[in-house]
Structure 1
Amino acid sequence: MKTCLVVDDSRVVRKIARQILEKLDFAIIEAADGEQALQACRDALPDAILLDWNMPVMDGYEFLGRLRDLPGGEGPKVVFCTTENNIEHISLALRAGADEYIMKPFDKEIVAAKFMEVGLLQSAGPSA
């Protein structure tokens, strides 16, 4: 089973993401900010990271840069998930090493489609 680290300061968003990703057959690890996420990655790199941009302690952008500097840190597929929708933010995230970008609010179809695009899913996964 593949693992996905869900990084968001909103407990509600983490819960929704967990429900969606578990239906797509991922084991879930949660972090409320970039520092917690970085520690989780130091412990064991996940296959995927669903990453919020705006968080306390360490934002998603800083986390992504530090993740990619870790040994093996280029491995996890990172999908930014945020309310930031201007082209500068999207471009910055992709240049920093994000593999894809989705907007909040999201649903199972959006997550499944993006995870398929980056090679984490072969199909849309089990139906809800």
Structure 2
Amino acid sequence: MVQKNLFWTLHVAVVNGWLQYKRDLKTSDAASSSQKDLMHFTLDVAEALTKVNKAYARKSRGRVSVTANTETSRRRVRRPEPTTAARFDKVAHWPEIINQKNRCRNCQKTSRK
């Protein structure tokens, strides 16, 4: 029973988001052909939710190296890329607020001591 209520609540939230999406498209004078139906909107929401807090694999480019480089360099874990719809929807996407001021993104140091 609890699981059924959870899925119903999630579905209601997605449908409300889709209705808001349709309303926003009408006010922004976007092309009506670019409007997604409920199924595609739900699939985009599901894809975005599955990418939360997961690293993505980068596609390798170019020719395969003859000598296999066995030593691995320590790289930071990349965040998943947002969907193209989220990137170009012209809606304000606010930066994440962190408590530590002047934090360097590439290392754990701060610019002030």
TM-score using structure 2 length: 0.26
Q: Say which structure, 1 or 2, has more relative contact order (CA 8 Å, 6+ apart).
A: 1
Q: TM-score, normalised by structure 1?
A: 0.24
Structure number, greater radius of gyration = 2
